[in-house]
A and B are shown apart, each in its own frame.
Chain A
């Protein structure tokens, strides 16, 4: 699900990984809903709706534990 290097943890499926984003968020103890206006998935428990994701041009990075 993730491409991990020393500085980044990037979601591999970009904007087309709804199921993976949901499954990952369901298993994640740190999932935290972002404010309503920044949620983009109709499935509430999804990395796409998580406060700790940082959008990039191609996908998003998980920022939990990076500077959060």
Chain B
């Protein structure tokens, strides 16, 4: 069965990041024969002084194929109890995609968490609207991480929010390749311009700096822009440039 797993607020200033905690959780699920996680997406939430985030207020989410919900849920909860950093306020959300009848309220919750200060009660109330499909749990501290964990699931369900965890590196400095070759090299299904317009798969691309895939229409997608150097028709965006384009 397919589920979303999202976690938030698992770290402190000295610990590993939340994305790494989720990757480790997925690796542990696999090693224990309970399931296999896919790529992780990072979803930026609201930056506001009334929200007690550690440094960037982002939630990390992945889709996973699991063998049985109860066992996987028990495992994830125990993993969170054991793995989160001292002083953190961890939250976990698991969404059973096959039982979830409507995406709308979860997506709305996710979108509102990008521009509103939400309370734990808001997350609990929203989760309760989807009993039997949404499993929200606190794992220490104030448990406020449930807000981001639920919001991250909503934003992942939206299909078009955030970035994919991990950097994409060029095969060599200043590499020029076709769009098709870029997608193959980066194991991507899509590359578009920043307005999400498709580009010709045979067009040339300058891939000179590391970049990141954005999560767009449920696919990891690389954004391209016109190359002004004359070496190729397009070039990939650097990570610094992407910050101005995508949260």
State the A residues within 8 Å of B (CB). 15, 18, 34-42, 51-57, 63, 67-68
- The DSSP consensus for interface residues of chain B is loop
Which B residues touch A34, using CB under 8 A?
A: 17, 55
Closest chain A CB from B49 CB (angstroms): 7
Closest chain A CB from B247 CB (angstroms): 11
**Contact A42 B13, CB 8 Å, known A37-B165, A55-B56:** no
Contacts A/B (CB < 8 Å), 16 sampled: A34-B17, A35-B19, A35-B20, A37-B19, A37-B165, A38-B17, A42-B239, A51-B13, A54-B56, A55-B47, A55-B56, A56-B49, A63-B55, A67-B13, A68-B13, A68-B14
The reply to whether B166 and A37 form a contact with Cβ atoms under 8 Å apart is yes
The reply to whether B239 and A38 form a contact with Cβ atoms under 8 Å apart is no
- Kindly report which residue of chain A lies nearest to residue B167, judged by CB atoms: A36
Q: How far is the CA of A52 from the CA of B13 in the complex (A)?
A: 7
Closest chain B CB from A45 CB (angstroms): 14
Q: How far is the CA of A63 from the CA of B14 in the complex (A)?
A: 12
- Kindly report which residue of chain A lies nearest to residue B14, judged by CB atoms: A68
- Kindly report which residue of chain B lies nearest to residue A63, judged by CB atoms: B13
- The DSSP consensus for interface residues of chain A is loop
| Interface residue B32 (Cβ < 8 Å from any Cβ of A) | no
- Kindly report which residue of chain B lies nearest to residue A67, judged by CB atoms: B13
- In chain B, positions 39-63 with a C-beta closer than 8 Å to chain A are 42, 47-49, 53-58
Give the interface residue-count category, chain B. 20 to 34
- Kindly report which residue of chain A lies nearest to residue B58, judged by CB atoms: A38
- Kindly report which residue of chain A lies nearest to residue B164, judged by CB atoms: A37
- Kindly report which residue of chain B lies nearest to residue A51, judged by CB atoms: B13
**Contact A42 B167, CB 8 Å, known A51-B13, A54-B54, A68-B13:** no
Closest chain A CB from B150 CB (angstroms): 21
Closest chain A CB from B156 CB (angstroms): 15
- Kindly report which residue of chain B lies nearest to residue A64, judged by CB atoms: B13
- Kindly report which residue of chain A lies nearest to residue B239, judged by CB atoms: A42
Question: Of B16, B17, B57, which is in contact with the most chain A CB atoms at under 10 Å from its CB?
Answer: B17
Which A residues touch B49, using CB under 8 A?
A: 56
**CB-defined interface of B216-247 with A at 8 Å, one 1/0 digit per residue?**
00000000000000000000001110011000
**Contact A40 B17, CB 8 Å, known A54-B55, A55-B56, A56-B47:** no
Q: How far is the CA of A52 from the CA of B243 in the complex (A)?
A: 19
The reply to whether B240 and A53 form a contact with Cβ atoms under 8 Å apart is no
Q: How far is the CA of A35 from the CA of B165 in the complex (A)?
A: 11
